Amino acid sequence: MRISAVLLAGGESSRMGRDKATLSFRGELLWERQIDLLRKVQPAKLFVSAQIDPAWRPGDVEFVPDQEPSCGPLGGIVAALSRIDTEHLLVLAIDVPFMSEAYLRGLCQRCESGQGIVPIIESRAEPLVAIYSGNYAGMFAEALAAYDFALQPVIRKLITLGKLRPIEVLPEEIPLFRNLNEPQDLLRPLAADL
Pairing mode of beta strands 116-121, 164-168? parallel
| Separation of alpha carbons 186 and 39, rounded Å | 24
Query: For residue 139, what are the contacts with CB-CB under 8 A and spacing of at least 6?
Result: 154, 157, 158, 163
Record the pTM.
0.89
| Separation of alpha carbons 15 and 10, rounded Å | 14
| Element at 40 (helix H, strand E) | helix 30-40
Give per-residue pLDDT as tens, 40-99: 999 999 999 998 899 999 999 999 998 666 678 888 999 999 999 999 999 999 999 999
- Split into its structural domains, the chain has a count of 1
With 70 as the cut, is the pLDDT of residue 31 above it?
yes
Q: Specify the amino acid at residue 143.
A: A
| Separation of alpha carbons 29 and 6, rounded Å | 17
Give per-residue pLDDT as tens, 133-181: 998 888 888 888 877 788 999 999 999 999 999 999 999 999 999 988 6
CA dihedral 153, 8, 183, 178 (to 10 degrees): 60
* CATH number for the domain that contains residue 88: 3.90.550.10
Helices (H) and strands (E) in the chain, counts: 5, 10
CA dihedral 61, 63, 67, 72 (to 10 degrees): 70
Output the pLDDT for position 194: 34
Print the domain residue range for 109.
3-193
